[in-house]
Every structure is written in C-alpha cells, then in structure tokens.
Structure 1
Amino acid sequence: MDPKNIEAANPKSAPLQKQYPEGQWPTGLYDRCDDPSNCITLSSCPCVTFGQIAEIIDGGDRSCGISGLVYYAMGNIHCEWLYAGLYRTKLRQLFSLPEAPYGDRFVHCCCCPCSLSQEYRELKNRGPIPP
C-alpha cells in the first residue's frame, strides 16, 4: 500500500519521517533551544549527547558510555573540540553536508554545545535517534 494512502486512511497515525535533502543542514547552528530536553542535557553533561552521536556515527562499534568518557577526559585537557570535530566531519560525510558556516573543529572550539546540538538534531531528524 502507498504510504500516502496509509496516512489518508488513518489520520491519527504518526506522520511519516520527513525527508531532508542531501547537502543541507535542516537546522541552524544556533537553534539549540529547538529541542529543550537535549538543551538541558547539553547544559549539564555534554558528554552524554556526544556519546550518543558518536555511537550512531560509529554504527555501534563504540558504546555511548565509552565515547562520552573519552570526550570528558579530553575536556579535562581542553581538547574535546578536536575529538568532537572528527565526528562532525564524519557526520557531514555521511549526509553530504557542507562544512558551513565554519570548519568542523573551529565550530566545536568556539561553540561546542551549539555544534553538538545541531549534530544531535541532524541525526534525530534523519531517523537514527528516537524522538
């Protein structure tokens, strides 16, 4: 059955996953408050959000906890932006996204919570993270 017919037959069913075009970030770098629960998590413990992002990008090869701990440890020597920048690059390559508005490591160095929030929303919007 055609997905449009399913939605028309049952209007109370959950809407189909919105498709986002390749080569575009669907949310802005500074739209951090668009997801209030993630905004709170990022404010209190960004290593959790980073761990979730890394686990999905790595395809489950490394757990959320391990990635989060590495991010936390690198944060203690003020180098978490290097590690997180690598994952932003992987995410961009995965979805053919532009390195915009700035370079991956530069974005993480200057505003890591904004960058992590954008990456989390990107994965959530494209499907791998449950809403």
Structure 2
Amino acid sequence: MASSYRVGVWAHDLFGCFDDVSTCLSTLVCPCVMFGRTAETIGSGNCVICAVSLLVPPVNFVSRMIVRGRIRDSKGIDGSSVNDCLLILFCPFCSLVQEVQECQDMTPSAQSMCRT
C-alpha cells in the first residue's frame, strides 16, 4: 500500500518491494518492460527503446541514472547522482521497484500498457 505523497522523499522505501506484490513480481519477471514503462511515464523516451536499453551493459546504467534522476526532479525528491549511482550498482532490483512504484503513483495514465 502506498504511503501518502510527501515532498522531498520517495513515497515508497527502497526496501518496500512488497508494498505492491504484483509490481514486485512483474519487475522480477520482466524488468525491461517495467523500466520501459517507467521511462515512458516520465517522458524519457519510447517504452520499447528504453526496455531494450536495459539489455546493453554500458547503456543500461546510464539509462537507469537518467530515469531515476528525472523521477527525483519531477517529484522534488532529495538526493544526488552519486546516491543514485550507488543504489543502481548495489541494489538494482529494489531501486527499480521503487522507481516503478513511484511512477505508478504519479498519474492514472502511468498504469497504461506499454506500446509495441
């Protein structure tokens, strides 16, 4: 269950993977699709292109950094690129689930299906 929106902090904790079990399982099974949806929700590109970018090792890290930074910027969440970098390197799954959950809370259109 999502916590109330507070300026300056993530609505879901980093280890709040099980706040929404279906999101957690979807991200575990199809991380590329979930990342693509998240990137498209915040306006960082096409769902399919972003999903494929997650499969290319140097590009996936940069893509994750960009998307996480844009989520923080759009919601006024405190943090830094260094912190984002460390989270993506050492806790990639939990940070991706956190990003997905955060974008699902942004708008009703965030729940839409990925275009193929």
Q: Could you state the TM-score of these two structures normalised by the residue count of structure 2?
A: 0.80
Task: List per-residue Cα deviations over 1:57-113 (Å, max 9, x = no partner).
Answer: 126xx2211110011123xx6x6233202210111011110117x701110111111
Paired amino acid for 1:63 = N
The corresponding residue for 2:111 is: 130
Q: CA deviation at 1:45?
A: 2.1
Which of 16, 28, 32 matches 1:43? 28
2: CA distance, partners of 1:83 / 1:47: 11
Which of 4, 22, 26 matches 2:11? 26
The corresponding residue for 2:38 is: 53
Is the 1:82–1:105 contact (alpha carbons within 8 Å) kept by the matching residues of 2? no
Unaligned runs of 5+ in 2: none
2: CA distance, partners of 1:103 / 1:122: 17
Query: For 1:103, what is the secondary structure of its paired residue?
Result: helix
The corresponding residue for 1:7 is: none
Q: CA deviation at 1:122?
A: 0.9
Is the 1:19–1:126 contact (alpha carbons within 8 Å) kept by the matching residues of 2? no
Pairwise CA RMSD of aligned residues?
2.3
1: CA distance, partners of 2:16 / 2:74: 21
Query: For 2:91, what is the secondary structure of its paired residue?
Result: helix
**Structure 1 segments of 4 or more deviating over 3 A?**
none
Cα distance change of structure 1 residues 23 and 53 upon mapping to structure 2, 3 Å threshold: same
Aligned residues: 108
Q: CA deviation at 1:33?
A: 1.4
Unaligned runs of 5+ in 1: 1-17
Is the 1:81–1:112 contact (alpha carbons within 8 Å) kept by the matching residues of 2? no
